[in-house]
Structure 1
Amino acid sequence: LFERFLNPERVSMPDFDVDFCMDRRDQVIDYVREKYGETSVGQIATFHQLKSKSVVRDVGRVMGMAPADAGRIAALIPEPIQGKTVPIKKALEEEPRLDAIYKEDAGVKDLLDTAMELENLNRHAGMHAAGVVISEGPLWDHVPVFCPEPKVYVTQYDKDDVEAAGLVKFDFLGLKTLTVIDVAVQLIDKRPDREGKPFDLAGIPMDDPATFALLQSGETTNVFQLESSGMQQLFRQLKPDCFEDIVAAVALYRPGPLGTGMVEDFVQRKHGRIKVEYPNPVLKETLQDTYGVIVYQEQVMQIARVMGGYSLGGADILRRAMGKKKESEMAKQRAVFVEGAGKQGHAPEEAGRIFDLVAHFAGYGFNKSHSAAYALITYQTAFLKTHYPVEFVAATLTADKDKTDKVVRTVAEARSMGITVLPPDVNQSEIDFTVVYEPKPARVKRRKSRPVAMGGEVRDPWGPKIRFGLGGVKGIGSGALEAVFEARSMTPEGEPSEDGTQQPFTDVFDFTSRVDLKRVNKGVAEALVQCGAFDTVHAELGVHRAAAHAGIEAAIERGKRASADRDAGQTSLFGLLEPAQARAVASSGSSAFPSVEPWDLKELLAREKATLGFYVSGHPLQRYASELKRFCDADTVTVAGRKGGERVVLGGSVEGYRERQTKSGGKMAFFHLEDAEGRVEVIVRSRNLDEAREALTCGDPILLTADVKFEFNRQADSEGPEETKLVLMEAAPLAESLRARTKAVRLRLHVDRTDSTKLVGLKKALDDYPGPCPVTLEILSPKERWWISVPQTGLSVEPSEAFLSSLERLFGEKVCELR
């Protein structure tokens, strides 16, 4: 209803909230300045206040108190409650220790008395992240302004005072999902099967069976608004089959409706398990799309018009009155409604009953326009994930590239979908995540009513895979990246390629000989090797990462000589050869690399994570995969589906461990538990910290027991019980825990990957680590499909970390299973 936005009876101007792609929001503001004149467009000031904790620290600093002392006093003020800070006066009433030092220490009393006088005063002005105003004529004809930088005008009034001064406020918000969609469409346009034809997102069918199949499955990670486990569960139960169902679900999944039973009632009515009934027959047309449930604010207005005889402008006033629940205004509106309903032929008792019913639900009603707009983005992202899953996931990774938690989770989800995620490649990677195509030889069949990625398999004949971008490698700046891309696009004789043909690097020696070493230093080369960016070219030479890393020093020296030759004007011999011949000659071959032992999996992954921020080639928990399934009852993703307070057992690596002092003087800790599926935050309370600290700080994977805790997420575009945390009960090193639980060891050897040397090494490892666990041996031949089991070898071992590492170095894969 347009009257929900603007009508003759509305006194105040409406709010304009518009979402834009994160990367292009500044372009919109620049456009508005150009359109209306730069002196008529400004941004709104925001004022940061002196809140209780900050004012204590500021006053303490001015009074010459040591920062640590002022900090300890501020720490006694309770933490904010539901986002609202606790005033100093209330803190003195609630915190006995703060009250005690206030009464006993004259200096503290002086500090807090001064702080209370200054509390809630404005500390400094800033610029609102989204607020924009447009005026007729220069802004300063209407409000005072200041300029934080040339030609950028900011009002000296906040958002409320700006409106009071007669200006209209616009919120130009940046929405990450619009960026994801934009990047995904760009990637789709590059698919081989598009053949230059742009993908039209606006033209997608709104009744696509495969998209609704995805929504009904609840497999909606990274689909806009449907990422929380609660929302996914709702969609599994609701099984939406039309766009209107998505709109309603988006409106219903909020704190208010979730606590009233409205959501369950809506689902039961949709599936016919509860009869759809209307408060009054005349309201059927208004409520039939929501199965008789009042979901939207617009429905409240329509009920007022249809039954109470209101104009739509008057109905909007009623809606606002019901939302504010002012008794005097509600009594006045009730009388108007009953009188108007009487003129429509409805009895006063019936009219009063309907008014009370509407008033009850109006407090939970949501703006349908807002819900529909967001539901459209939900449907569009679901469509992209359904039909172009690889491009969609690559776009999501690009948008989240600076958020390690989200990248880890998205990579894990991509692999569960059957999407191959490749490490960076010095010849193939761009700055961001891209999609590479390796067409499958056999024709791939897919039912049109099912998503492309389903059951852990991607049914796409073009074989798309995600390639990590070089921009995500730590220690490589923009200058170094430019140098790499420039060298890659140069011809063998050092001229820019006219047709855009790439000249691949043949190995790290060729790389250092061609790039500008003033911008690409030894650290850059090391980072590229450690993250696996040379794996593809070095694999052809039989060179592993450790050898490539050891050869960097010599490669840099050769590169310096090549650079000196270029500066001296000497022509490279390679410039006289064809490109393929030049690449062959430029390759140094494996003999140029030092002979060193390969990194074991633990070191390889550690170096990979140090350069990328996450694991790509594997995970430290890989060797324990079967054991974790046996001993754990949850992982970092499935805990979100557990009940609050439920106790779970998980395994993982400790990331970002930190401790902080509590109000009682003790300590508590926080960290992220990371497994192959993702991450979850863990809280360690004082009473458990001393016992768990050693395990949490040893650097090895751990096994922990914890209680599930949910925190309500109130972000504007994603409301609901979304954030899952764990409260630790106990923790121990994973290897130690598994060893304590292990009763036997099973060795699984493949005939075609085992030789006499490895068998001798295996016998030595078994002799070196004797212990109580009997060893079972299985010999497999996958090609001939036979296997031999030796249940009683007469051998027994200690399943220690050293024993497992020795087997991995020997066989290059996991051959040992703890039972």
Structure 2
Amino acid sequence: DIDLDFPRDVRERLIPMIHDRHGRDRAALVAAFPTFRARSAIRELGKALGLPPGEIERVARASEGWSGHRVAEDVASALGAERLAGREPTRWRHLVELAAEAHGLPRHLSQHSGGMIVATRPLVDCCPVVPAATEGRQMVMWDKDSCADAGFLKIDLLGLGMLSAVERCVDQIAARRGERIDLSRIPYDDPEVYRTIQRGETTGVFQIESRAQMASLVRTRPQTLDDLTIQVAIVRPGPIQGGAVNPYIARRQQLREDPSYAIPYDHPSLEPVLRETLGTIIFQDQVIEVAMAFAGFSAGEAESLRRAMSRKRSGQAMEAHHRRFVEGALARWPDVDEPLAERVFTMIRGFSGFGFPKAHGAAFGLLAYQSTWLRVHYAPEFLAALIDEQPMGFYPPDALVHEAQRRGIAVHPPEVNASAAGCTVTADGAVRLGLGHVLGVRREEVALLVAERESHGPFRSLAELASRAGVGRPSLERLAWSGACDLLAVADGASPRHARREALWRLGVAAAPVPGRAGAQLALPLDLPQAPALTGLDRWEELLADYATTGITTGTHPMALLRRSVPALRGTPTSADLGQIDHQAPVRVAGLVVARQRPGTASGVCFLLLEDEAGTVNLVVPPQVYERHRLTVRTEPLVIAEGRLERHPAAGGTVNVLVRRLLPLEATSRPAAVHDLSRPQGGEADAAQAGRGDFRAVAPPAMSFAQGRRR
């Protein structure tokens, strides 16, 4: 089994090359068989039962998404327990019963994320082969475990977004600064890079950007690439379930305070194997070494144990090795009793979740350092590359932009005379969003517009844009509503407040390109009619338009607007103020939800990351609070949280809020109209009062339960 990571575009070219190199009869993609879980069962069975689509979606979004045996709780949480009350069978009760029966059954045939097998003889001699959905590819109808059992060589060709982002960043640096960066030759002991990592300032950095990683970095304070290798591997289900995380961090902190501190080992035979990781099992390789050194496994038996950890059916496979491990340890070492042998095996059993081999951790640790180095020394180019390579990582583009702005990097919205297709960096170091980030505008139309501008000069008016760009009316309207045509509207006589609506109106009545044999026949360059008297946009309406068209706002943060207009937020501290509040003090915070996580290793605890105009704050939602406010946790983009502030010295002073109550932002009281803050109070009321409800429809996506870690 070989894992290879490539930039995304390289992977797409590589798969057909492997088909051609080894023969289409001897190379194929590996299949996967997704099974019914709660959300898929609710949606598909609910549709078959004829339940209302809106209610089906509400229940599906409220669901945990894993077990189909708890759909009754999902229905009660989303719609009320009365839907399942009474003795008479109802369609909702049928849904609950059918979802439990369907749980775990295959739903459809799918393609493995990157697996291919290569054989020495035609694959059709031993397994079924079918065409894949993508032209030019084929797939065996076996999953990865079946292919491994059959002895096939399996190669995982994975498209890694950060590799693409790093390449794009290096190209941006060369284009803007004339510097050609060779990341294999950068200094790997840069003090500023390690100070940045130790402070947990790693938003956008590969593998060490999650809130769990940031909190861990502040405590472990990596100083070398070896430390980073351990760091990227430690926040994984394997080490967490194996109980390695807290002991490793505590021992590292103890060593920093007392270099003579003696690392405790469960048994002397484990010291040579676990010295590097301070007596804990963090890498898959160590499982093999522990099994051989402690339990007397042969190399073949230890490899069989390692393979059992990587299988979907690992629970049963791991149990088969359980008694052999305990009995081997008791027979090999007279000072080992059964509780000790069980404790060591429990450390190993945790890796049946997921753990890294050391080589994998080293490769990812190197890329984590390189991406941090680019963030520290070439921050604008790194941000531009990250935005262009979305989706990837833990943060939506909007959160990346706000974090960069807090670091002093200027970010400009798209503009038809200044933006390229992707993000660019201006001469003064600002990042300009690309026209390709305007949703609903086709890539081909963006290319036509940019090519026309570069060939024949900038557009001087809205009429000229409509006649020269070769872009259809729907795309012109999307560009106008995104603000990309504001400067042209101002040049045509509109005021800045009215520019977006006037551009939308005038381009909306422009003659659309007429399809012709040679592509598109452009409209005649006639003057566009003047717009009627239109109400100007205030800041809240501009923000909604930004999110609706690009998913990013480069202007005022939504919380800055709401904090001055919603009575429930008056006196509520910002994230920057929390550092002045005492440990265990009651606190009330509000913000935009950036990430939602409820990992299976957290015993039902849910973690939310809120963002406001000053920064971010971590919310810890206990299981009982989560169950009371499940819909709010899972679906609301703007929330108010009440709870207790926690700041433990052992956690490096990281601030968390332990939540006892969670509310949608508008649920506390009917908010006052949001006024244009550039006008004196008492001016025209904002039409966004009605638009407040629309924020749910345009809110930037959060890193959610279903998405997991995006590569």
TM over 0.5: yes
Over 3 Å counting, the alpha-carbon distance change for 1:78 and 1:621 in structure 2 is closer
Partners in 1 of 2:293 and 2:336 — Cα distance? 14
Q: Deviations over 1:105-146 (max 9, x none)?
A: 599999999998877554543333333222223221110122
Cross-structure match for 2:193? 211
In the alignment, is the contact (CA less than 8 A) between 2:557 and 2:613 conserved in 1?
yes
Post-superposition shift, 1:420? 0.5
The one of 209, 232, 235 equivalent to 1:253 is 235
Cross-structure match for 1:786? none
Over 3 Å counting, the alpha-carbon distance change for 1:86 and 1:174 in structure 2 is farther
Q: Deviations over 1:537-590 (max 9, x none)?
A: 6667875342575367667889899x99xx9x9xx9xxxxxxxxxxxxx999x9
Q: Deviations over 1:492-538 (max 9, x none)?
A: xxxxxxxxxxx12223233234333xx332x4444434433245566
Partners in 2 of 1:40 and 1:199 — Cα distance? 40
The one of 139, 155, 164 equivalent to 2:140 is 155
Identify, as 1 or 2, the structure richer in strand: 1
Cross-structure match for 1:550? 502
Partners in 2 of 1:51 and 1:558 — Cα distance? 49
Cross-structure match for 2:461? 507
Over 3 Å counting, the alpha-carbon distance change for 1:245 and 1:230 in structure 2 is same
Partners in 1 of 2:553 and 2:90 — Cα distance? 56
Mapping of residues 205-244 of structure 1, within 5 Å: 205-244=187-226
Cross-structure match for 2:164? 179
Post-superposition shift, 1:310? 6.8
Over 3 Å counting, the alpha-carbon distance change for 1:156 and 1:164 in structure 2 is same
Over 3 Å counting, the alpha-carbon distance change for 1:108 and 1:209 in structure 2 is closer
Cross-structure match for 1:44? 30
The one of 441, 447, 452 equivalent to 1:482 is 447
Q: Which amino acid aligns with 1:137?
A: R
Tell me, yes or no, if structure 1 residue 633 matches structure 2 residue 618: no
Post-superposition shift, 1:331? 5.2
Mapping of residues 665-814 of structure 1, within 5 Å: 675-676=612-613, 704-706=640-642, 728-729=662-663, 731-732=665-666, 806-807=679-680
Over 3 Å counting, the alpha-carbon distance change for 1:400 and 1:734 in structure 2 is farther
In the alignment, is the contact (CA less than 8 A) between 1:218 and 1:233 conserved in 2?
yes
Greater CA deviation, 232-241 or 286-295?
286-295
Partners in 2 of 1:96 and 1:140 — Cα distance? 53
Mapping of residues 438-449 of structure 1, within 5 Å: 438=428
Q: Which amino acid aligns with 1:131?
A: G
SS at match of 2:33: strand
Cross-structure match for 1:520? 472
Mapping of residues 544-623 of structure 1, within 5 Å: 544-545=495-496, 546-547=498-499, 549-550=501-502, 599-622=537-560
Post-superposition shift, 1:736? 7.0
TM-score, reference length from structure 1:
0.61
SS at match of 1:29: helix
Tell me, yes or no, if structure 1 residue 85 matches structure 2 residue 85: no
SS at match of 1:19: strand
Over 3 Å counting, the alpha-carbon distance change for 1:613 and 1:593 in structure 2 is same
Over 3 Å counting, the alpha-carbon distance change for 1:250 and 1:363 in structure 2 is farther
Partners in 1 of 2:200 and 2:23 — Cα distance? 48
Over 3 Å counting, the alpha-carbon distance change for 1:513 and 1:229 in structure 2 is same
Tell me, yes or no, if structure 1 residue 400 matches structure 2 residue 400: no
Cross-structure match for 2:432? 467
SS at match of 1:172: strand
Mapping of residues 21-170 of structure 1, within 5 Å: 21-49=7-35, 66-68=50-52, 83-86=66-69, 104-105=88-89, 121-148=105-132, 151-170=136-155
Kindly name which structure, 1 or 2, has the bigger radius of gyration based on alpha carbons.
1
Over 3 Å counting, the alpha-carbon distance change for 1:674 and 1:34 in structure 2 is same
Cross-structure match for 2:276? 289
Over 3 Å counting, the alpha-carbon distance change for 1:56 and 1:42 in structure 2 is same
Partners in 2 of 1:356 and 1:110 — Cα distance? 44
Over 3 Å counting, the alpha-carbon distance change for 1:370 and 1:708 in structure 2 is farther
Q: Deviations over 1:360-417 (max 9, x none)?
A: 5434564322222222221121111111111111111112269996111111101011
Over 3 Å counting, the alpha-carbon distance change for 1:162 and 1:138 in structure 2 is same
SS at match of 2:396: helix
Partners in 2 of 1:231 and 1:727 — Cα distance? 26
Partners in 1 of 2:559 and 2:427 — Cα distance? 30
In the alignment, is the contact (CA less than 8 A) between 2:130 and 2:141 conserved in 1?
yes
In the alignment, is the contact (CA less than 8 A) between 1:77 and 1:98 conserved in 2?
no
Greater CA deviation, 241-250 or 103-112?
103-112
Partners in 1 of 2:89 and 2:181 — Cα distance? 71
Q: Which amino acid aligns with 1:728?
A: L
Q: Which amino acid aligns with 2:29?
A: Q
Partners in 1 of 2:385 and 2:493 — Cα distance? 33
Q: Which amino acid aligns with 2:398?
A: V
Instruction: Give the fraction of aligned pairs with identical amino acids, expressed as a percent.
Output: 25
Tell me, yes or no, if structure 1 residue 531 matches structure 2 residue 482: yes
Structure 2 unaligned residues grouped into runs of 5+: 75-79, 595-607, 647-655, 685-711
SS at match of 1:183: helix
Over 3 Å counting, the alpha-carbon distance change for 1:556 and 1:57 in structure 2 is closer
Q: Which amino acid aligns with 2:454?
A: S
Post-superposition shift, 1:708? 9.0
Mapping of residues 323-402 of structure 1, within 5 Å: 329-330=321-322, 332-333=324-325, 336=328, 348-349=334-335, 358-364=344-350, 366=355, 367-400=357-390
Q: Greater RCO between the two (CA within 8 Å, min separation 6)?
A: 2
In the alignment, is the contact (CA less than 8 A) between 2:501 and 2:534 conserved in 1?
no
